[in-house]
Amino acid sequence: MQDVTNTVAQGKTVLDISHVSMAYANGNVKAVDDLSFTLKPGEIFGFLGANGAGKTTTIKMATGILPVKSGSIKICGYDITHDSIEAKRHFGFVPDSPIIFDKYTGREYIDFLGDIYGVNNTARESITADLLKRFALEDAFDKRISGYSHGMKQKIAIIGSLIHSPELWILDEPMMGLDPPSAFALKELMKKYKSEGKTVFFSTHVLDVAEKICDRIAIIGKGKLVLCGDMDEIKRAKGDESLEEIFLSVAGESEHE
């Protein structure tokens, strides 16, 4: 791994992924291979990699969807394996394909999550009012999710992930299916979240977005961390190349290993 980071978060870490590995097909295929990195409060962290590089698997382990069989993952100090309930209280997650409970209306879905996370009605009202306006979803909010478009499902998943104001916001390919105004709204929301001292961790293929809004990025290839660090430092170290050029060079190197 090429580590160009000067400062790894000292003290409190929001997400601590430590020597995590995951293999499929009886151990023959390594989806994630000894992966380690940490996220500090108040940053936007981009998680990049080619298709099948292990991004979604890592995120699934971090969110408790897949078990962590090797290594450990801590969210706000809580181990996702041993203290999963507390760990899960501290993040909100937007999956790559928003398969949420489509028999619900948007409001019922938010209500359900509010009940699970113990969010009171006043907070539900204020949080959703702002987010619905940002994503222009007010008219559809009381309709069944099954009738929503892909983008609308993505938006309601985003709203649902923030209903409990988590310290860590995890998004897997969040720009997919969003129209330009909504994509813009999402980027603005990420920045706002960061300004509140919270952390955004998202995977993406859209390198332009990562380049513009991320404080730090990590690139993985074949399940291994190949590059991790501060956006500006990486650029300086790589001769001020664009993120696309950096990505192609390091992703290409990892492919040839």
Q: According to the binding rule CB under 8 A, does residue 99 interact with other proteins?
A: yes
* From candidates 8, 82, 101, 184, binder to other proteins by CB under 8 A: 101
Least distance from other proteins to the Cβ atom of residue 115, Å: 3
Question: Is residue 86 close enough to count as binding other proteins by CB under 8 A?
Answer: yes
Nearer to other proteins, 49 or 64 (CB): 64
Residue 84 in the binding site for other proteins (CB under 8 A): yes
Residues 143-182 that bind other proteins (CB under 8 A): 143-144, 147
Contacts of 127 (CB under 8 A, 6+ apart): 119, 159, 162, 163, 165
Residue 157's identity, in one-letter code, is A
d(CA 153, CA 96): 11
Q: How far is the CB of 67 from other proteins (least distance, A)?
A: 5
Q: Cα 237 to chain center, whole Å? A: 26
Q: Residue 32 and residue 11: Cα distance in Å, rounded?
A: 26
Find the helix packing angle between 121-134 and 150-161, rounded to 10°: 140
Nearest alpha carbon to residue 145 among 107, 96, 105, 108: 105
70 part of the interface to other proteins, by CB under 8 A: no
Q: Summarize as ranges the residues that interact with other proteins (CB under 8 A).
A: 60, 63-67, 84-89, 93, 95, 97, 99-101, 103-105, 107-108, 110-118, 120-121, 124-125, 139-144, 147
